[in-house]
């Protein structure tokens, strides 16, 4: 997911509304484990979904979290190891990294009782790829052969079926891609690839309000702005059988309100404690506090498309600026330990993460920083503007980074706030800036390719820098064509090794999940997506 997810999370938290009663009793004492009741539900902090609840339409946390519990795709990721594991798929075979033969497990059912068959996947993907259906995630299907016919850049689609998808029988189908993507199965864990029941296609809007999926939880009700109630689906066939009776997603306007409710056990698990509580939450919650790594990174990107920054010499300036930032101090003080200094462009915990890929350039060294900036001919005009969105809580660290740069190199560095996320994105994507901007990446799937291919490849959708490096592109292409995921991973590590020389973006730090849970639940663990292992949460009896 987009960097957007994080910024949007903050936005959503700041804007949605809420309420609701989960009629519940007060809980027992402190942390320790005790007996649990598999029939009881727990509540989770959420925000009102911004789109109808359709899998290919959820790219923000409010709707995304609900959908990932209502639907289950071919594969998902083990919450503790972030490794891929088979769910509806029995196996996914490929001999050439381009044609994938999918075998489904027998016995999976949708919540309405109909079986999950190959056509449910194929139909769902075709439907999601069709621009007429206005699905935000439709570009996820772009690897599949025939996507261009269904989803042309402009004009009428030539077809409503992607030619690369072929149903063999109820439990088998093949996916042919338009090019080699050795790690395609990793992408399949994204919610956009969920199957849809036959009934969905007759009334997509209705199903968007009352979704019917095949996941561990089934939809019960959606009181807008208040709560979405789910309950455990008894026929769920996945490897992660729920240990609780369901999840109630309570909508909160502010994380402060959610935190107040969490402390009084009116809310069971929350997303991220509010910034105001960061300093104290471990004291407040004791062993119910959570501090876990997340597959997300914060960067400062540069406008390599501008004459000022395009010359190869300026790479030295960017390396120097990176070395002038005291990441240790900023993460500890301004960010109160909620981030961990980055040493690579891929977040920690992601498959293929290589500690120290950034080398010395991510180490604080003011003397060398100054030297490098001088060698590179200095920052244009000796002034650096870092553009960011003022509604995402970024001001403090941008100012701290600027202070660090100013004190250590004498470069006049200033934050350049845009009023909100939309405005900042508009300025960044329309290439109106000249200097630096806040950017970042939240994993779509826990594989290093996601952090590299989607961001630094020439012309990649999220390459907002205008970075283009033949060496990087070659390495990435080779990695995509590798025979196994393991080879892909090492291929992308080679691609990542190219980045320090051009330094299109300065890695700052990795996100962490700073959260907690109430006295009523136990066994709450967060995965690298920043989500709890939903099905493993136990509600005390």
Partner 1 sequence: MGSYVLRRVLQMIPVFFGTTLLIFVMVYTLPGDPVTALFGEKAADPAVVASIKHKYFLDQPLWKQYLHYMGNLFQGDFGTSFTGRPVSDIMAGAFPVTIRLALLAFVFEMILGLALGMLSGLRRGSVQDTLVLVLTLMVISIPVFVLAYIAQTVFATNLGWVTPTVQDSYDLSQLVLPAVVLGSLSLAYVARLTRTSIGENLRADYMRTAVAKGLPRRTIVLRHLLRNSLIPVITFLGTDLGALMGGAIVTEGIFNVQGIGNVLYRAINTKEGPTVVGIVTVLVIIYLVASLLVDLLYAVLDPRIRYA
Residues that bind partner 1 (CB under 8 A): 1-5, 7-8, 11, 14-21, 48-52, 59-60, 131-132, 134-136, 138-139, 151-154, 205, 208-209, 224-226, 251-254, 256-258, 260-261, 263-264, 266, 391, 418-423, 425-426, 429, 439-440, 461-462
Beta bridge partners of 85: 76
Q: Nearer Cβ to partner 1, position 8 or 180?
A: 8
Give Cα separations from 63 to 76, 138, 325, 437 (angstroms): 18, 16, 36, 28
Helix axes 470-480, 448-456, angle to 10 degrees: 140
Collapsing DSSP to helix, strand or coil, 183 comes out as coil
Residue 165 dihedral angles phi and psi, to the nearest 5°: -105, 120
CB of 331 to partner 1, least distance (A): 22
- The three-point CA angle 204-206-208 to 5° equals 65
Task: Determine contact, residues 1/437, Cβ cutoff 8 Å.
Answer: no
* For partner 1, the closer CB: 8 or 339: 8
Q: Judged by CB, which is closer to partner 1: 369, or 455?
A: 455
DSSP 492: H
The answer to whether 270 and 524 are in contact (CB under 8 A) is no
If the CB atoms of residues 340 and 425 are measured against partner 1, the closer one turns out to be 425
Task: Considering the complex, state which of residue 284 and residue 291 has its C-beta at the smaller distance from partner 1.
Answer: 284
Q: Minimum distance between the CB of residue 155 and partner 1, rounded to whole angstroms? A: 9
Shortest separation between residue 230's beta carbon and partner 1, angstroms? 18
Nearer to partner 1, 101 or 159 (CB): 159
Cα–Cα distance, 124 to 73 (Å, whole number): 11
Q: What is the chain's alpha carbon radius of gyration, rounded to the nearest angstrom? A: 23
Dump the DSSP string for 64-133.
HHHHHHH---SEEE-TTT--EEESSEEEEEESSSSEEEEEEPTT-B-TTS-B--HHHHHHHHHHHH-GGG
Q: In the bound complex, what is the minimum distance in angstroms from residue 460's beta carbon to partner 1?
A: 8
Minimum CB separation of residue 304 from partner 1 in Å reads 17
Closest to partner 1 by CB, 426 vs 483, is 426
Go through 266-283 and write b for each residue having 16 or more CB atoms within 10 A of its CB, e for each that does not: bbbbbbbbbbebeeebbe
- Nearest approach, Cβ of 23 to partner 1 (angstroms)? 9
Of residues 91 and 224, the one with the C-beta less far from partner 1: 224
Query: By C-beta, is 3 or 116 nearer to partner 1?
Result: 3
By beta-carbon proximity to partner 1, the closer residue of 382 and 429 is 429
Name residue, tokens 């809007």: 205
> Which of these, 339, 315, 344, 345, lies nearest to 327 by C-alpha position?
339
Shortest spacing between CB 276 and partner 1, in angstroms: 10
Minimum distance of partner 1 from residue 488's CB (angstroms)? 22
Our measurement of the distance from residue 248's CA atom to the centroid of its chain's CA atoms, rounded to an integer in Å, reads 22
Q: Please, what is the minimum distance in Å from the beta carbon of residue 79 to partner 1?
A: 23
Whole-number minimum distance, CB 484 to partner 1, in Å?
Answer: 28
DSSP 245: S
- Select from 186, 189, 96 the least CA-distant residue to 145: 96
Q: Which residues of 16-43 are buried (b: 16+ CB within 10 A; e: fewer)?
A: bebebeeebeebeeeeeeeebeeebbbb
Shortest Cβ 321–partner 1 spacing (Å):
22
Least distance in angstroms from the C-beta of 459 to partner 1: 10
Specify the residue, 62 or 246, whose C-beta has the smaller distance to partner 1.
62
**Assigned token pair, 155:** 């004009």
Contact partners, residue 374, CB within 8 Å, separation at least 6: 320
Pick between residue 391 and residue 538 the one whose CB is nearest to partner 1: 391
Distance CA 174, CA 103 (A): 9
């Amino acid at each position: 997911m987009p960097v957007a997810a994080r910024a949007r999370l903050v936005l959503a938290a700041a804007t949605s509304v809420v309420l609701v009663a989960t009629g519940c009793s007060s809980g027992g004492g402190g942390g320790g484990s005790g007996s649990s009741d598999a029939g009881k539900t727990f509540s989770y902090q959420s925000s009102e979904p911004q789109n109808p609840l359709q899998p290919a339409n959820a790219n923000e946390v409010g709707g995304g979290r609900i959908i990932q519990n209502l639907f289950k795709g071919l594969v998902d990721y083990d919450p503790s190891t972030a490794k891929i594991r088979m769910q509806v798929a029995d196996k996914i075979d490929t001999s050439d990294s381009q044609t994938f033969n999918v075998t489904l497990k027998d016995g999976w059912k949708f919540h309405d009782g109909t079986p999950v068959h190959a056509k449910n996947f194929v139909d769902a993907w075709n439907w999601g790829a069709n621009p007429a259906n206005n699905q935000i995630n439709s570009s996820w299907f772009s690897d599949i052969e025939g996507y261009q016919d269904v989803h042309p850049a402009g004009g009428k689609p030539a077809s409503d079926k992607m030619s690369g998808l072929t149903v063999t029988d109820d439990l088998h189908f093949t996916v042919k891609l338009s090019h080699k993507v050795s790690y395609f199965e990793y992408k399949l864990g994204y919610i956009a690839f969920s199957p849809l029941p036959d009934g969905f296609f007759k009334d997509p809007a209705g199903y968007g309000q009352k979704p019917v999926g095949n996941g561990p939880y089934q939809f019960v009700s959606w009181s807008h702005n208040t709560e979405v109630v789910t309950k455990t689906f008894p026929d769920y066939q996945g490897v992660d059988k729920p240990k609780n009776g369901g999840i109630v997603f309570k909508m909160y306007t502010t994380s402060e309100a959610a935190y107040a409710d969490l402390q009084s056990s009116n809310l069971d698990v929350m997303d991220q404690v509010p910034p105001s509580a960061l300093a104290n939450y471990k004291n407040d919650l004791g062993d119910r506090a959570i501090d876990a790594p997340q597959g997300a990174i914060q960067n400062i990107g540069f406008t390599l498309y501008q004459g000022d920054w395009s010359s190869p010499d300026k790479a030295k300036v960017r390396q120097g600026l990176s070395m002038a930032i005291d990441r240790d101090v900023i993460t500890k003080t301004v960010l109160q330990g909620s981030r961990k200094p980055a040493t690579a462009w891929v977040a920690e915990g992601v498959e293929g993460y290589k500690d120290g890929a950034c080398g010395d350039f991510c180490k604080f060294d003011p003397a060398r920083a100054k030297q490098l900036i001088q060698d590179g001919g200095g920052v244009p005009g000796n002034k650096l503007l870092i553009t960011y969105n003022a509604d995402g809580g970024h001001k403090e660290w941008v100012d701290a980074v600027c202070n660090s740069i100013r004190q250590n190199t004498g470069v006049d560095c200033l934050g350049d706030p845009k009023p909100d996320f939309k405005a900042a994105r508009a300025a960044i994507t329309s290439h109106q800036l000249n200097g630096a901007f806040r950017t970042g990446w939240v994993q779509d799937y826990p594989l290093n390719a996601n952090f590299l291919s989607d961001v630094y490849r020439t012309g990649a959708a999220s390459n907002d820098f205008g970075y283009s490096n033949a060496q990087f592109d070659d390495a990435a292409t080779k990695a995509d064509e590798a025979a196994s995921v393991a080879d892909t991973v090492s291929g992308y590590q080679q691609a990542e090794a190219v980045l320090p020389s051009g330094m299109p973006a300065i890695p700052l730090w990795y996100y962490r999940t700073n959260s907690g849970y109430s006295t009523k639940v136990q066994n709450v663990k967060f995965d690298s997506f920043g989500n709890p292992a939903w099905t493993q949460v136990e509600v005390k009896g």
